[in-house]
Chains A and B, each alone.
Chain A
Amino acid sequence: MKSRKKTYVEDIDRTIYDISNKERHRFATIKGLNESIIKEISKEKDEPKWMLDLRLNSLEIYNSKPVPTWGPNLSELDLDNIVHYIRPDTDMSHSWEEVPEDIKDTFERLGIPQAERESLAGVGAQYDSEVVYHNTKEELTRQGVVYLDMETAVKEYEDIVKKYFMTLIPPSYHKYAALHGAVWSGGSFVYVPKGVKVDIPIQSYFRLNAKGAGQFEHTLIIVDECAELHFIEGCSAPVYNVQNVHAGAVELFIKKGAKLRYSTIENWSKNMYNLNTKRALVEEEGTIEWVSGSFGSRISMLYPMSILKGRRAKSEFTGVTFAGEGQILDTGAKVLLAAPETSCIINSKSISKSGGVAMYRGLLQATKEASGAKAAVNCESLMLDNDSKSDTLPIMEFKNDNIDIGHEAKIGRIPDESIFYLMSRGMSEEEAKAMIVRGFVEPITKELPLEYAVELNNLIDIELEGTID
């Protein structure tokens, strides 16, 4: 096998991304968010008044809530210059030449087309995904499925959006949910009518096509009774944003007997604070399946929550998290068992290397209504060296005794003998470790469509390179 070039995917030097002096001067007087900026955003998007009110209310909550201190340290997160990137008339462009070599190299090796690379790096023209989108769209329209970017949905399906938007993740949920409510932009809206089983996965294309999208995008999916959908969001290329916070929101409504599989692979540039919020509300005999791959970022706090509201509602969470040098990935899953015979399965795998911290933080709650509920939690961590850290913090709170719980946690390292074994079959140490790690996450990759599984494996290879000398 050809020996590959070793690449360190290093943290980004923020200074080279700062907007030109001219612009910094232009906004020098504005610190933080204020009402007039929010009004400007809303006006630019030509939103109905209720949405403006929601934004303003969110802003108030955002300003009143303290930075949470129960998890990773967020004190270095500077949101003062956030205004640059959400203000409608801000010129965001910088040049392709300024994008760091490591990011370009990663695009190259993931096989991302140039136009898309530029868009992912936040430079140049937006990636034109219209063709792909239209083909999907035609098929979906035939089945009565509504699939729109969030801004358009607010106008064209105002009643539905108004009924659901930020009801599952209210601005009061936490500080960054409030921030999201105030400045959200872009994202996807999907409505699947009763009984419609969408047979092809819908992949989101909108995240890159609006200012602030990919940072504060809102995803709202409603799968009506007995309908089925597989929605895929994200991509494996490192999403680079100048402003280093991502506070998206994903609200999923799964009606009686419906089923939604929500898959994401996220790979944030390593300066990013990823403070994403995801929640699903599942009604009687409905099913939510989360498939989640978290890569990149400086700090991630991500705990998709399933609220199992109806009898026999089900949740299945399959997640993999990879923390490298200088990264803290604090991820997990939350489930609220709130009805009889509800059930959940959580399978979490984490990998840490070069001093990275991968933490599983889980919350499993059951109300007194949850008689006969079942829960199985399985966390496995693989530490690739002695500097890295993995831990699990599963919290359980039950108000009902009649619940069947299984919990298993394993933390380990790659045995030297396994590496020797694979090397004796011709693989380099690097290839041997990569094969073992790929095998470790195989339960997740096998849940993904083929092209995403390939991307996930490529990502692992890239993350592992440069760690072995």
Chain B
Amino acid sequence: MNNDLLLKIDELKVSIGDRNILKGLNLEINEGETHIIMGPNGAGKSTLGNVLMGHPEYKIDSGNIYFNGEDINGLSVDERAKRGLFLSFQYPEEISGVTVENFLRTSKMAVTGENVPILEFQKQLKEKMDLLQIPEEYKERYLNVGFSGGEKKKNEILQMAILDPKLAILDETDSGLDVDAIKVIYEGIKILKEGKKSFLVITHYNKILDYLAPDFVHILVDGKIVETGSADLANRIEELGYENFKK
């Protein structure tokens, strides 16, 4: 692939409190690629997503993160979003009194730094909501308030669709969902995965392989990527479990 390097993680060590979580992680993602990160609980998968987005609770002890060639270690969360990073949350927050539509339009304007005319926005919103099979009345509902698990995850993907990031990190987007919801979400992602958009998909299981053809699968164990391979690797995990990758 001739695409440019989008994300480069170099010997990243991260701790929270006095606990070391990432212990020298390396990863490179080119434009247009889809990477899957798999690993047992507690390996540091969600930490990776949070650190890339700039969560203030995680401390980078050493190592660097480059996005589009820029060292983003010192950037605030919103600045990262503006540069095209997106994190789909495992547990999205509920924001009372703020409608989905208002939130999405405000976010869109914040990310692009441009005014988004309301009619144009509504048209775009309807399109994406249809794609993800979200009923129209949801745009009037308060953000994630009273949403089921599946609805929250769909809403995350809707946000991704509207904000159109360069790199979308999907943190356990498929966990806790029934098969139908997973199908809608991954088919939505498949359609949205156009052009040069890159994905970093954090997941427990390989259901995703039915929908997305990953370029790489990485196995994350105890804060390090211990193996990288193709889609096959995910299937091997299914058979062998993570134990065999631990040292």
B98 and A439 form a contact (CB under 8 A): yes
Give the residues from 99 to 118 in chain B that come closer than 8 angstroms, CB to CB, to chain A: 103, 106-111, 113
Contact B97 A428 (CB under 8 A): no
B97: contacting residue among A417, A418, A431, A438, CB under 8 A: A438
Chain A contacts for B89, CB-based, 8 A: 421, 424
Q: At the interface, yes or no: B163 with Cβ under 8 Å from chain A?
A: yes
User: Considering the chains assembled together, what is the distance between the CA atoms of A439 and B97 in angstroms?
Assistant: 4
| Residue A101 interfacial (CB < 8 Å) | no
Partner of B92, one of A421, A435, A438: A421
Q: Which residue of A lies closest to B80 (CB)?
A: A424
Instruction: Report the stretch among A80-88, A358-366, A393-401, A440-448 that lies at the interface.
Output: A440-448
- The answer to whether A442 and B77 touch across the interface, beta carbons within 8 angstroms, is no
Q: Across the interface, do B56 and A416 meet the contact criterion of CB distance under 8 Å?
A: yes
Among A415, A426, A440, contact of B81 (Cβ-Cβ < 8 Å): A426
Given the known A-B contacts A416-B56, A420-B55, A435-B103, are A425 and B98 also in contact in the complex, defined by CB atoms under 8 Å?
no
Cβ of B122 < 8 Å from any Cβ of A? no
Q: Is A422 an interface residue (CB 8 A)?
A: yes
- Cβ–Cβ contact B81 & A442, under 8 A: no
The residues of A that contact B78 with a CB separation of less than 8 Å are: 423-424, 426-429, 431
In Å, the complex CA distance between A421 and B106 comes to 13
Residues of A within 8 A of B77 (CB): 420, 423-424
Would A426 and B97 count as touching, CB distance under 8 A? no
Q: In whole Å, how far is A385's beta carbon from the nearest beta carbon of chain B? A: 16
Q: Does B132 contact A (CB under 8 A)?
A: no
Which residue of the partner chain, among B92, B97, B110, B163, contacts A441 with CB atoms under 8 Å? B97
Per a CB cutoff under 8 Å, which of B56, B93, B96, B163 touches A426? B163
CA distance A1 to B106 in the complex (A): 9
B109 contacts across to A, CB distance below 8 A: 1
**Contact, CB under 8 Å: B107 / A440:** no
Which residue of B76, B107, B110 has the most chain A CB atoms within 10 A of its CB atom? B110
Q: Is the CB of B111 within 8 A of A422?
A: no
B142 close to chain A: CB less than 8 A: yes
* A442 pairs with B97, CB closer than 8 A: yes
B56 A427 Cβ-Cβ under 8 A: no
**Would you call A140 an interface residue if the criterion is a C-beta within 8 Å of the partner chain's C-beta atoms?**
no
Closest to B94 in A: A418
Closest to A417 in B: B93
* Interface assignment of B159: CB less than 8 Å from any CB of chain A: yes
Knowing A416-B56, A420-B56, the reply to whether A443 touches B81 (Cβ < 8 A) is no
Q: Is A37 an interface residue when CB atoms closer than 8 A count as contact? A: no
How far is A416 from B57 in the complex, measured between Cα atoms in Å?
10
Most chain A beta-carbon contacts within 10 A, residue among B92, B97, B113: B97
Asked whether, in the complex, the Cβ of A423 is within 8 Å of the Cβ of B76, the reply is yes
Inter-chain CA distance A239–B25, complex, in Å, is 58
Question: Is A436 in contact with chain B by the CB < 8 A criterion?
Answer: yes
B226 at the interface (CB under 8 A from A): no
User: Are A424 and B53 neighbours in the complex by a CB distance under 8 Å?
Assistant: yes
Residues from chain A with a CB closer than 8 A to the CB of B96 are 439-440, 442
> Could you tell me the distance in whole angstroms from the C-beta of A458 to the nearest C-beta in chain B?
15
How many chain A residues have a CB neighbour from B under 8 Å?
25
Bound Cα distance from A441 to B80, whole angstroms: 29
On whether the beta carbons of A440 and B97 are closer than 8 Å, the reply is yes
Scan A266-301; emit 1 where CB is below 8 A from any B CB, else 0.
Answer: 000000000000000000000000000000000000
A421 interface neighbour in B54, B93, B163, Cβ under 8 Å: B93
**B95 proximal to A (CB < 8 A):** yes
Contact with A along B105-143 (1 / 0, CB 8 A): 011111101000000000000000000000000000010
- A2 CA to B163 CA, complexed, in Å: 18
Contacts of B93 in A (CB 8 A): 415, 417-418, 421-422
Q: Do the beta carbons of A426 and B82 come within 8 Å of each other?
A: yes
CB of B95 within 8 A of CB of A435, answer yes
Q: Nearest chain B CB to A320's CB is how many angstroms away?
A: 12
Q: What residues on A are CB-neighbors of B159 within 8 Å?
A: 425
Contact: A439 with B142, CB < 8 Å? yes
CB atoms of B97 and A443 under 8 A apart: yes
Q: A423-B76, A425-B111, A426-B163 are in contact. Are A435 and B106 (CB under 8 A)?
A: yes
Give the distance to chain A from B163, nearest Cβ to Cβ, in Å.
7
Q: How far is the CB of B114 from the nearest CB of chain A, in Å?
A: 9
Chain A: CB-nearest residue to B107:
A425
Q: A423-B76, A440-B97 are in contact. Are A1 and B113 (CB under 8 A)?
A: yes
Q: Which residues of A contact B106 (CB under 8 A)?
A: 427, 431, 435
Residue of A nearest to B108 (CB): A426
Query: Does any Cβ of A come within 8 Å of B87's Cβ?
Result: yes
A196 to B93: give the CA distance in the assembly, Å. Answer: 47
Q: In the complex, what distance in Å separates the CA atom of A1 from the CA atom of B78?
A: 11
A255 CB to closest chain B CB, in angstroms?
A: 35
Q: How far is the CA of A440 from the CA of B107 in the complex (A)?
A: 18
Contact A436 B110 (CB under 8 A): no
Tell me the smallest distance from the CB of B121 to a CB of chain A, in Å: 15
CB contact under 8 A between A425 and B92, given known A431-B110, A439-B98, A442-B97? no
19 contacts between A and B (CB under 8 A): A418-B93, A418-B95, A420-B77, A421-B89, A423-B77, A423-B78, A424-B53, A424-B86, A425-B103, A426-B107, A427-B106, A428-B78, A429-B76, A429-B78, A431-B110, A435-B103, A435-B106, A438-B97, A438-B98
Closest A-B pairs by Cβ, 5 of them: A439-B97, A442-B97, A426-B110, A426-B111, A423-B77
Other contacts beyond A424-B78, A427-B107: 17, CB < 8 A = A415-B93, A416-B56, A416-B57, A420-B77, A421-B89, A422-B93, A424-B77, A425-B110, A427-B106, A428-B110, A429-B78, A435-B106, A439-B98, A440-B96, A441-B97, A442-B97, A442-B98
